[in-house]
Structure 1
Amino acid sequence: MRLVAAMDAASGGESDQTSPVAKSWKESQLMRAVMKSAGLLGGLVTAGMLALAPPSSSAASAASDDVFFTTQATKQYTCAKTTCRVKRNLFKGQPLSIDCYYVGQPVSGNSIWYYTTTWEGEWWVDGYTPGQHINTGTDPRPGISRC
């Protein structure tokens, strides 16, 4: 029931950084990735309950190209430095949506940070995440604009 409420809350969230239509599409893609990584099936079953499936190791490969995953436990910050305030702790495999990249403080020799959005409980959280800890392939990822 909590997940259904969370999904309803997600459909109404907007950001001043993105148009409502684009944000809604991005939220649906990110929510789909969150559900896949948690091992949830999308269909409802009798009595309004969600069917659960065992976690899948192919969740990352099944997600949209617009959804990325953390490669290790990391943090989301208010700016592109590790001395900035931490907005949230991210777990390994956390699904993220990337809006743009920023050149900031080097982390393990990589100075690319991404402005990311992720799901936390019942709301969306956005902030800067070190590129070193996201499965983008190369940094900055081709096709992602600079902030």
Structure 2
Amino acid sequence: MTTNLVRRSAGTQTMSDMLLSWLRIRRLTTEKDLADLAAGTTLKVTCLSATLGAVKTAPIGKGRTIPITAMGYLHLTADQVSWQNRRTRETVTVQGPCTLTPSERKAGHWKMARLDLLADGQQHVIMIPKADVPLVTRSLEQA
């Protein structure tokens, strides 16, 4: 049975989610996320990327530029993965076949994982919550 419900994943938490978790009122888990994904629920995962969507760069001097990391969300369904830029609302569908591997560089935050995504022959770097890595991996395998 497919539902149109969209909810945040276990690793994508707001302040109220954290308070409910600390008070043991509501605790989301990766296992529940995987079960909900199989049941047809669309899950939203925080995802930072400089290479998905329109790439913007910033000058750093002497004619050199670096890509600017954009904050967005991965929308995971049973058969499709898409990324939406939080600020511009630009949406990019991630086309398979996809492979997700740990990056050599660190994410810069202890709760985040930096991963190299190879999708449709293009290399991307994404940062997602560590708690959501199994969920995103499963979704990309099915996409």
The two structures have a TM-score, normalised by structure 1, of 0.30
Q: Which has the higher strand share?
A: 2
The two structures have a TM-score, normalised by structure 2, of 0.31
Higher relative contact order (CA 8 A, sep 6+): 2
